[in-house]
């Protein structure tokens, strides 16, 4: 009993807690007894206490391997803050100067330091290894241990060398800790660290207070509008939005700020002082929303983050789970939204090109798991927990979009039997996509190489609707008819339950996957299902004709048809809203816009039209850096061929960019180029043609001008004409 009282007393003395959480006490006792341990504890479960408290109790210095410098500093400050003397915790990493390293080593030698945080690169340095050989190490804690595994979501090669460093420094108990690990990753971790057979402590992955939802990602504007509307519905609440690219982080943060949302960008490319300030402002609630790459969040101890939004689908379910785990850590409301598009998956696959084949293979399989999660109509909580090796017993969690809006169940007894028999026929040696190709009768090169297209069972399911196969396999995995091999990840194996089903089939009800289109259609791109108002479109065309006549220019110079079509869908009623319309820049909105948005406003009032809510969202005028460079280069009168070369564009592609610029209302002076190509009479001929023409079509112009000019020449002349007449 004395030991138990002492442990609780130490917890109270150092951390001010009266009780341990979950399995913390069992883990600490195990470590104090000198045994190795593997700890799988989801974000917010209190992993760090499992090594911090024993380090303060045990003789010697505990070595904690951690991948993040910012996290180390934060945890060192916490431990030193609760300690009576200085130097109880230190860190060794590349950010320290020589004098600071000497101070750390002195404190360790003098027995002051109980907890030493090291980056894996620092642990593997020869001089640090030599120094640590002279120190009594109480134990080693390997934090973020999933970094050891190529199958983890944040593989770091330096983690593979930790075991060798430990063997040289001197063996002591090892505790490996992570918030996310599949069976495959767990196997990799214990094997790599040489702690096979150690006790495993696994907490439940279920976060009952988190609500999971997947939304189709349509156009960029539509996604931005949905996010803004969502944040406005949760005004004043803290949230994190994750994007894959730094560019998208900065663009989205700017859009949120323009819409009166207290937001800030956060990514590794920003100055460390800016990042620190942003983090502090978020913790102090001066900022409500952080728009970030995955550089943000590890070690952030903010319990009341109310929502986590993924603008882009994450690369793995481990990463997704860890990032969503930053919501609702206080047990209160936590909403997790992810926007999903098949195009995003294709982009992520493209990013993998050029990497080693083995790495590409792992990356693709992790992406397939993410795809299955996003597209499935099954309970999302059940899918997530199953991925991490935990079964969720309920049929309906009530806390995900699929459970709140369940799809109709359909019978899939026959397709399941075909799949199970196919797995058996293929000697349980292939992955999902191969098995599905086999039952569909799709003779891929891979199938032909294995001569499996010659088997009698090949094509056994060719009459089955192709939409059945993925949900059948995914839901058979969930219900335990098949499993994925741990050693050869992704290979499908039959379970005893699956063998029984083949002999005695029974009802197998499934829900079909949700369908996601590769590209948004025009209506979606214009604002989520907006429909052209033909009466308004007709009025706008008539007005355009009047305005064109007044300015003595052809109608297409005022606004192109595509711009009028969008106006007749989106009903802009002021200059700012008009600039959200394709092909309408600030210049055109000022020059021609007032009559158009006045007409639209009056039309809406007279016909009692409820305008799309999305239009009240303010966007940030964006000119890509490339377009800005093109404008600046033309201002400096650099020849167009030279501009094309410096921007790695073909001459035709450069002209297309310049056309976009002038059509949206920016004036460009390309006279220096025109003078090189045409004499005055020639340019006048083309000018006169476009002035009288009802169309800006290049093909029509070439026909009318009897082929006297090349396509590029006419395009150049049209650019000059539009720039001068329209802008």
pLDDT for 497-514, tens place per residue? 999 999 999 999 999 998
Residues 650-683 pLDDT 10s: 888 888 888 888 877 778 888 888 888 877 777 7
The band of 153, judged by pLDDT with boundaries at 50, 70 and 90, is low
What is the average per-residue pLDDT within 621-642?
79
Q: Work out the average pLDDT over 355-378.
A: 87
Q: Which two tokens stand for residue 23?
A: 């399995």
Find the mean pLDDT for residues 585-589.
80
Give the pLDDT of residue 147: 87
5: confidence class by pLDDT, cuts 50, 70, 90: very low
> DSSP label at 616?
G
Ranges of beta strands (E only) in 412-570 are 482-484, 492-494, 509-510
pTM: 0.68
Please state the CATH superfamily assignment of the domain spanning residues 7-202 in this structure. P-loop containing nucleotide triphosphate hydrolases (3.40.50.300)
Mean per-residue pLDDT of the chain = 86
- Residue 150's pLDDT band (boundaries 50, 70, 90)? confident
210-404 domain in CATH 3.40.50.300? yes
- Looking at per-residue pLDDT, the higher value among 681 and 386 belongs to 386
What totals of helices (H) and strands (E) does the chain contain, helices first?
A: 35, 17
Asked if CATH classification 3.40.50.11540 holds for the domain at 409-511, the reply, yes or no, is: no
The residue-averaged pLDDT of 566-573 equals 88
Q: Which residues have C-beta within 8 Å of that of residue 668, sequence separation ≥ 6? A: 631, 634, 658, 661, 662, 719, 723
pLDDT at 45: 72
How far apart are the C-alpha atoms of 37 and 17, rounded to whole Å?
Answer: 23
**Pick the residue with more confidence: 724 or 293?**
293
* DSSP line for 34-69: T--EEEE--TTS-TTHHHHHHHHHSSSEEEEE-S-H
Q: How does pLDDT run across 541-559, given as a tens digit for each residue?
A: 999 999 988 888 888 888 8
* 3-class DSSP state of 215: strand
Whether pLDDT at 522 is above 60: no
> What confidence score (pLDDT) does residue 520 get?
45
Residues 594-623: tens digit of each pLDDT:
999 999 999 998 888 877 654 455 555 555
**DSSP-assigned states of every residue in 373-436:** HHH--S-HHHHHHHHTT-----S--SSBHHHHSPPPPEE-HHHHHHHHHHHHHTTT--BHHHHH
What confidence tier does 113 reach under pLDDT thresholds 50, 70, 90?
A: very high
Residue count of the chain: 727
Two tokens at 268?
Answer: 């590794």
- Going across the sheet that includes 289-292, the strands are 210-216, 334-340, 305-310, 238-242, 289-292, 263-266
Please state the domain extents for the chain.
7-202, 210-404, 409-511, 534-607, 622-726
Confidence of residue 699 (pLDDT cuts 50, 70, 90): confident
pLDDT digits (tens, 9 = 90+) for 44-61: 678 889 999 999 999 999
Rounded to 10 deg, the angle between the 380-387 and 469-478 helix axes is: 60
- CB count within 10 Å of CB 697 equals 13
Query: pLDDT, tens digit, for every residue of 429-458?
Result: 999 999 999 999 999 999 999 999 999 999
Task: Give the pLDDT of residue 610.
Answer: 77
Q: What is the CATH number of domain 622-726?
A: 1.10.10.1390
pLDDT at 370 over 80: yes
Question: What value does the CA radius of gyration of the chain take, rounded to a whole number of Å?
Answer: 31
User: What is Dmax (Cα atoms) for the chain?
Assistant: 105
Looking at domain 534-607, its CATH class is mainly alpha
- Please check the confidence at residue 428 and state whether its pLDDT lies above 70: yes
Same fold, 409-511 and 534-607: no
């Amino acid at each position: 009993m004395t030991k138990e009282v002492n442990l609780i007393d130490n917890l109270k003395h150092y951390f001010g807690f009266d009780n341990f959480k979950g399995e913390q006490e069992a883990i600490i006792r195990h470590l104090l007894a000198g045994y190795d341990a593997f700890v799988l504890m989801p974000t917010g479960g209190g992993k760090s206490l499992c090594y911090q408290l024993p380090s303060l109790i045990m003789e010697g210095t505990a070595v904690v391997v951690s991948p993040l410098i910012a996290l180390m500093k934060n945890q060192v400050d916490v431990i030193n803050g609760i300690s009576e003397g200085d130097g109880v915790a230190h860190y060794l990493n590349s950010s320290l100067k020589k004098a600071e390293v000497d101070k750390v080593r002195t404190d360790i030698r003098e027995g002051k330091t109980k907890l030493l945080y090291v980056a894996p690169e620092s642990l593997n340095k020869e001089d640090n290894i030599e120094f640590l050989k002279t120190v009594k190490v109480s134990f080693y804690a390997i934090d973020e241990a999933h970094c050891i595994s190529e199958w983890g979501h944040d593989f770091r090669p330096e983690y593979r060398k930790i075991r060798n460093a430990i063997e040289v420094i001197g063996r002591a108990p090892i505790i490996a800790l992570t918030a996310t690990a599949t069976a495959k990753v767990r196997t990799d971790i214990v094997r790599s660290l040489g702690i096979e057979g150690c006790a495993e402590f696994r907490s439940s992955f279920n976060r009952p207070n988190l609500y999971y939802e997947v939304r189709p990602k349509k156009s960029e504007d539509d996604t931005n509008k949905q996010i803004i509307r969502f944040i406005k519905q949760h005004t004043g609440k803290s949230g994190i939005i994750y994007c894959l690219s730094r560019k998208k982080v900065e663009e989205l943060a700017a859009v949120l700020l323009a819409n009166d949302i207290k937001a800030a960008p956060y990514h590794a490319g920003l100055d460390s002082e800016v990042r620190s300030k942003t983090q502090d402002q978020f913790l102090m609630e001066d900022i409500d929303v952080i728009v970030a790459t995955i550089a943000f969040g590890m070690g952030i101890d903010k319990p009341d983050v109310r929502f986590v939004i993924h603008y882009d689908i994450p690369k793995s379910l481990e990463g997704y789970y860890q990032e969503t785990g930053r919501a609702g850590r206080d047990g209160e409301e936590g909403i997790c939204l992810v926007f999903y598009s098949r195009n995003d998956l294709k982009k992520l696959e493209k990013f993998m090109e050029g990497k080693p084949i083995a790495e590409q293979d792992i990356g693709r399989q992790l992406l397939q798991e993410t795809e299955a999660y996003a597209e499935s109509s099954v309970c999302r909580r059940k899918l997530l927990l199953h991925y991490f090796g935990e079964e969720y017993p309920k049929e309906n969690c009530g806390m995900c979009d699929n459970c709140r809006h369940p799809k109709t169940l359909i019978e899939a007894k026959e397709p399941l039997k075909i799949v199970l028999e196919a797995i058996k026929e293929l000697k349980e040696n292939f992955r999902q996509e191969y098995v599905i190709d086999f039952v569909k009768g799709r003779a891929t090169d891979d199938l032909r190489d294995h001569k499996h297209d010659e088997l009698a069972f090949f094509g056994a399911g060719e009459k089955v609707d192709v939409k059945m196969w993925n949900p059948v396999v995914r839901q058979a995995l969930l219900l335990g008819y098949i499993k994925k091999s741990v050693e050869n990840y992704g290979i499908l194996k039959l379970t005893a339950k699956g063998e029984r089903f083949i002999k005695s089939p029974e009802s197998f009800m499934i829900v079909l996957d949700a369908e996601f289109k590769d590209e948004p259609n025009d209506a979606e791109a214009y604002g989520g299902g907006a429909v052209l108002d033909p009466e308004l479109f007709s009025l706008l065309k008539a007005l355009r004709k009047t305005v064109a006549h007044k300015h003595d220019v052809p109608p297409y110079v005022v606004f192109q048809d595509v711009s009028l079509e969008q106006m007749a869908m989106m009903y802009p009623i002021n200059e700012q809203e008009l600039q959200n319309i394709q092909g309408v820049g600030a210049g055109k909105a000022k020059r021609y816009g007032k009559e158009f948005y006045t007409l639209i406003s009056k039309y809406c009032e007279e016909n009692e039209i409820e305008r799309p809510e999305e239009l009240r969202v303010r966007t940030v005028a964006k000119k890509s850096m490339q377009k800005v460079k093109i404008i600046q280069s033309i201002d400096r009168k650099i020849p167009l061929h030279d501009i094309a070369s410096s921007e790695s564009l073909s001459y035709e592609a450069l002209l297309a960019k310049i056309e976009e610029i002038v059509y949206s209302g920016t004036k460009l002076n390309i006279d220096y180029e025109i003078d090189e190509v045409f004499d005055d009479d020639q340019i006048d001929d083309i000018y006169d043609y476009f002035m009288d023409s009802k169309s800006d079509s290049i093909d029509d112009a070439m026909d009318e001008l009897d082929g006297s000019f090349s396509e590029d020449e006419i395009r150049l002349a049209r650019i000059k004409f539009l720039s001068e007449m329209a802008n």
